[in-house]
Amino acid sequence: MEVIDNMSFGWLLTIVGGTMTMCSLGVLILVVTILKKFQN
């Protein structure tokens, strides 16, 4: 079983989690903007 120390785990989660969250929100903004263009 692989071992990862606590701080590396924290930074990994912060970098990957933070990036994925912001990217997902970015994609959502894009999709909503496209949706709004077609709303009428």
Partner 1 sequence: MNEIMQVITSNDFLYNVFGGFTHFGWQAAVMLIIGGVLIYLGVAKDYEPLLLVPIGFGCILANLPLTELIHVPREGYVFNDSIRELLAASGLLPLAEGARVVNEGILDVLYNAGIANELFPCLLFIGIGAMTDFGPLLQNPRILLLGGAGQFGIFLTLILALAIGYEKLEAICIAIIGACDGPTSIFITSMFNPALLGPISVAAYSYMSLVPIIQPPVMKLCTSKKEREMIMSYEMLQPVTQRTKLLFPIVVTIVTLLIAPSGGALMGTLMFGNFLRECGAVGRLVQAAENEIASITTLFLGLTVGSTMNGDVFLTAKTLGIFALGFIAICGDTAFGVFGAKLMNLFSKVKINPLIGAAGISAFPMSARVVHKVGNEANPQSYLLMHAMGVNTGGQIGSVLTASVMIAVIGALQTMGVDLTIN
Contact 16, 24 (CB under 8 A): no
**In whole angstroms, how close is the CB of 33 to partner 1 at the nearest point?**
6
Q: Can you give the binding site for partner 1, defined by CB under 8 A?
A: 1-4, 6-7, 9-14, 16-18, 20-29, 31-33, 35-36, 39-40
Please tell me the distance from the alpha carbon of residue 9 to that of residue 40, in angstroms, as a whole number.
47
**In whole angstroms, how close is the CB of 5 to partner 1 at the nearest point?**
9
Alpha carbon 5 to chain centroid distance? Answer: 23
**In whole angstroms, how close is the CB of 34 to partner 1 at the nearest point?**
9
